[in-house]
Amino acid sequence: MKAVVIILLLGSTGLEEIRLTGDNCGIIAENWRVANTTHVWEVDGDPKLQGNYTKDDKLLVGYICDEKKQR
């Protein structure tokens, strides 16, 4: 099956999407997270802002997986 992965990022202009395709949704999303984000436990002393951030300060919100059968 071919998977479409939608990575969701929260930036200063709102929610953004990055669309990727491949064979395994979870592996694609995890590899993208590892390659493109850094986890922080707090931002400016606020632990409520912990999470995975990109180099341009966008917060990784999560991902959506859509696996379709090839036709």
Check residues 29 and 67 and name the one with the higher pLDDT. Answer: 29
Q: Give the span between the Cα atoms of 63 and 67, in whole angstroms.
A: 13
Percent of the chain residues past pLDDT 90, beyond the cut: 77
pLDDT value of position 69: 54
Tens digit of pLDDT for each residue in 43-71?
999 999 999 999 999 999 999 998 765 44
- pLDDT of 11 > 90? The answer is yes
With a CB cutoff of 8 Å and minimum separation 6, the contacts of 56 are 11
Residues 19/8, Cβ–Cβ less than 8 Å: no
